[in-house]
Amino acid sequence: MKAIVQTRLIHLKKHWVSLIFWLAFPVIATVAIMGLTNSLQQDSKVPVGIVLEETTPLATTLVDSIKRTPIIQVYQLSEEEALYQLQQHKLDSVFIIQDGYEEQIMKGSRNRLIKSYRSDLSFAYTPIAEMIISYVQQDTGRTKAAYTIQELNKQYSNSTQNWTWGEIIEKSKDIEKEENLLYTTFRFFNADTEADANQFVLFNPWGLWAVFAFLSTCMIMDWIIKERRKSLTPRFSFMHISLKSYLLKNAGLYLLLFIIVDIMTLILFKFNMREVITQDLIGSILSFRLILLMGAFLLAILSTRLPTYYGISFILTLIIAIISGAILPNEGLMTQYPWLEIANPLAPFLSREIGYGWFIVFGSLIGIWFVRKEKRNVKGA
Amino acid sequence: MLKVHNLSKNYGSRSVLNDVSFNVKEGEVIGLVGENGAGKSTLLQILATLQRPTSGSITLYDKSYENKKKLRKEIGFVPQDIAIWDEFTVEENMVFFEKLAWGNKTKDQLKKLCLDMKLDRWKEPVTSLSGGMKRKLNIAISLIHDPNLLLLDEPTVGIDLKSRKEIGNYLQRLASDKGKIILYTSHDMDEIITLCDRIVCIGEDPFYQDLLQKAGKSIIPV
Ligand SMILES: Nc1ncnc2c1ncn2[C@@H]1O[C@H](COP(=O)(O)OP(=O)(O)O)[C@@H](O)[C@H]1O
Ligand SMILES: [Mg+2]
């Protein structure tokens, strides 16, 4: 094995740039596409200026709720700056949470809590204003409910005068109605915006990564075709290693290299995309990598010319991308041809399973290839 | 001693070698001549264990050709097509094949092997070498495991006279100083006549036989 490592290093020295490029390609491409879709999402948000005149808990919670809304990009500014930017049309609208906000809410007052500005080009003012009002109503509703219950409690325990049944029902209906009203408004906006957000999360990072990993594995394994060149095959008869063992052992080295890169990818995704590393994920990545390598190995063994090999690799990548749903939603395709799901080598990985099927198929094919006797008529030697 | 006895080779119904028999002693350089397609490469490949004869027997140092694995350590085969890594330097080629060859050689030994043939571009990429230099490297790689039987298929084809002489001299020294058995093919009759102790004519065409007889060379009847 030492000889294999040493001879491999001589080869790698000649094309380490392309090797590193293709090793890094799946991660870089995935991160780039995820970043791009995120920034697209960012760009399509409505810029809204918020001016906070007081920093009471209720006021800051309100700002936080607004910030969490997917369709809004909140800029917290001073009043002067916010109005200036509104004039420049850098902001769609401006909302000022006025001094005394919490106090007014506590009192149950709804007057002049928030001052709003819009420009002649504001297009999202009304829905955003309604949404903010719904948040405020939520706050006032809650305070009101709390206040009412407090009052009820006081009256119930302190006074000798009993509440009639009708009075309690009336009161709770009152509260319910208000809460319901608030609830629906709240739901409406949230549901809407959540749907919007979902549309932007087109790609699952591991799905993207798997498709790119497929392509990069094929590109990296092209050494098999380059090193199996006809003129050199007679040499391997006069060495202590046969050409087949040479290819297999080198493929083993590449497997090791790939696994190291995969572990690095896993760590990177963990920090970058808050992926949770589970045993299932690690197991499915390792088995996915093994299947990829075996598949690329077989493809390279069967191809004699580089252009053919590259061409087939690209086409297969495209097919796999499509049947995995990485490019287009493929619900219809899947229900029409359920075997696609079974045939897709990415499927077990995407559902965090170990793909035994392809492993067995590829493993047996490689086994057959290895023990099969080569025809002895070496032409051109 | 290499003994070839009643060797025949057919490709399908086509007979290429027909009852070829000859013996070669240590220290001898044998030339194989014959027109294109006569079967010179086929004979060399059979002697190199890369092809099986249809019938007949071969022994090298009284070892039969049945156990290929063991035999191959004794054989150095220089393919007609240059078999080197084009993207490597001379040094990298030598080191690469040394790592996978039987036995061990130091870098100095490998370098000397090249220098013996006047191949001195140790650090240069193969792409910058002349045809003669590439042929020399092609031979040097086949000699890394110190084989005793050397089979060279047109080792000097298409290269300049100086390189041809250098390769020829080297082969002669290998035979006379180290007792190697050398068989090689060439279309250059002058080279064959000056270099070879005896000559095997392959094929039916009497042209080569006449030519060699006129030059007073000893022809091995096959
Ligand atoms: N693997 C093979 N299968 C079928 N025919 C072959 C094969 N190798 C060589 N031949 C044929 O055998 C004949 C001898 O070939 P070869 O030994 O290469 O001749 P030479 O080296 O003397 O030019 C040629 O006619 C060639 O076409
Ligand atoms: Mg030939």
Which CATH number applies to A45-183?
A: 3.40.1710
Residues of B with CB under 8 A from a CB of A: 11, 41, 45, 48-52, 72, 75-77, 79-85, 87-88, 92, 95-97, 99-102, 141-142, 145, 147, 153
Q: How confident is the model at residue A133 (pLDDT cuts 50, 70, 90)?
A: confident
The yes-or-no verdict on residue A151 having pLDDT over 50 is: yes
Where in chain A are the domains? 2-37+198-371, 45-183
Tens-digit pLDDT profile for residues A59-104: 888 888 888 877 788 898 898 999 898 888 888 889 988 888 888 8
**pLDDT higher at A188 or B50:** B50
Beta bridge pairs of residue B183: B30, B151
Contacts of B51 in chain A (CB under 8 A): 376-378
Q: Is the distance from the beta carbon of residue B30 to the nearest atom of ligand 1 less than 6 Å?
A: no
- CA-based diameter of chain B, in Å? 50
Residue A139 CB-density burial (10 A; 0-12 exposed, 13-18 middle, 19+ buried)? buried
The yes-or-no verdict on residue A180 having pLDDT over 60 is: no
Cα A364 to chain centroid distance, Å, stands at 35
Domains of chain B are: 2-83+147-220 (3.40.50.300)
Asked if this assembly's ipTM is beyond 0.85, the reply is: yes
Least confident of A213-227, A349-363, B160-174: A349-363
**Among A374, A375, A379, residue to substitute to test ligand 1 (most atoms within 8 Å of Cβ):** A379
The pair of structure tokens assigned to A160 is 């000798």
| Interface contact flag, A7 B100, Cβ < 8 Å | yes
Tens-digit pLDDT profile for residues A274-332: 778 888 889 999 999 999 999 999 999 999 899 999 999 999 999 888 887 765 566 66
The values of phi and psi at residue B31, to 5°, are -100, 140
CB atoms within 10 A of CB B127: 10
Low-confidence ranges of chain B (pLDDT < 50): none
Please give the average per-residue pLDDT across A33-42, as a whole number. Answer: 78
pLDDT of residue A162: 57
pTM (2 d.p.)? 0.75
Beta strand ranges found along A27-92 (DSSP E): 46-52, 72-76
